[in-house]
A and B are shown apart, each in its own frame.
Chain A
């Protein structure tokens, strides 16, 4: 079990990179009125064929040699635990969309956790563009490494000073949209992690 939803997101996005994606779109919607948390991860990787798609949430199924395929099955387990669902839509040669829906006020819902380090970890791959949009009710944060790279004019996005800038930008943006929401409170995350 992953301690935070942001760890599941990092794991699924790492799968996208392994599948040859150079663009990943991560979208999170926290809708407190409808009590729904929706997480979508879309990539332009090689896609998954129908035969494999049927077995994908089996923890012992993987296309990688000598490994088990725990990533998606762990996320599905978390979704099931929170009265949610996991849907996968994939086309060979076009990419994959993974959509997780969870109930926001479910007692077993893990905290979203450290999205900043998750996004920074993906940026560190360097050759992958990340688009991240995060909506909390009506407030929205949007971040696109493609646009940042244009601004950098050839300076690597993983340059330490650039990374520090990006970290602050994401932290600031997420703080602005998430004020007061329990998913983000440190005390909630600490209590959850102690209990797991």
Chain B
């Protein structure tokens, strides 16, 4: 893949502006990778990297990936929370690179919650 230039950034900006205008700036999916000391030491950054690589393969611009602090469950790190519009948030536990990829492909893209990895699931959508 050829390297990107500042001109490419300008093109990306214009394309992104159109996409954001079409969907009125709202993200439908939010993926939160928890990055406390415990999460980082347990491999949260590798999970984040895997999720970003998977996102890059799709053409979805309504998915937002973000990071947050520890949720207080250090022994279950790395933790990842998936929030899909209209559905209850799901917190996944003991994530690693492969499990993060499964969560992205199955839950984020296909809507199937991977119950075997779930730590907690909200009752509210």
Contacts and interface: CB of A to CB of B under 8 A. Distances in A.
Q: Do A and B come from one complex?
A: yes
Interface string A1-35: 11000010011001001100000000000000000
A126 B68 CA distance: 11
A78 to B, nearest CB: 12
A108 interface: no
B10 A160 contact: no
Interface stretch (A85-93, A98-106, A117-125): A117-125
Given A14-B36, A70-B37, A124 B63 contact: no
Given A2-B40, A152-B13, A117 B66 contact: no
Contacts of A11: 37, 40-41
B10 to A, nearest CB: 7
A71 B40 CA distance: 10
A66 B72 contact: yes
B71 to A, nearest CB: 11
A131 B45 CA distance: 20
Interface stretch (B48-56, B75-83, B101-109, B115-123): B48-56
A18 B13 CA distance: 30
Contact of B48 (A74, A117, A168): A117
A132 to B, nearest CB: 16
A155 B13 contact: yes
B48 A14 contact: no
Interface of A: 1-2, 7, 10-11, 14, 17-18, 66-67, 70-71, 74, 114, 117-118, 120-122, 124-126, 148, 151-156, 158-165, 167-169, 172
Interface in B63-93: 63-67, 69-70, 72, 74
B66 A14 contact: no
State the majority secondary structure of interface residues on B. Answer: helix
A158 B67 CA distance: 11
Chain A contact surface mostly? helix
Interface of B: 3-4, 6, 8-10, 12-13, 15-17, 20, 33, 35-38, 40-41, 45, 48-49, 52, 55-56, 60-61, 63-67, 69-70, 72, 74
B81 to A, nearest CB: 14
B67 A161 contact: no
B16 A155 contact: yes
B12 A14 contact: no
Contacts of B48: 117, 120-121, 124
A174 to B, nearest CB: 13
Contacts of A169: 4
Given A2-B40, A155-B20, 4 more contacts: A11-B40, A160-B56, A161-B16, A163-B65
B40 A158 contact: no
B45 A168 contact: no
A28 B8 CA distance: 28
Given A117-B45, A165-B4, A158 B64 contact: yes
Contact of B65 (A67, A70, A124, A155): A124
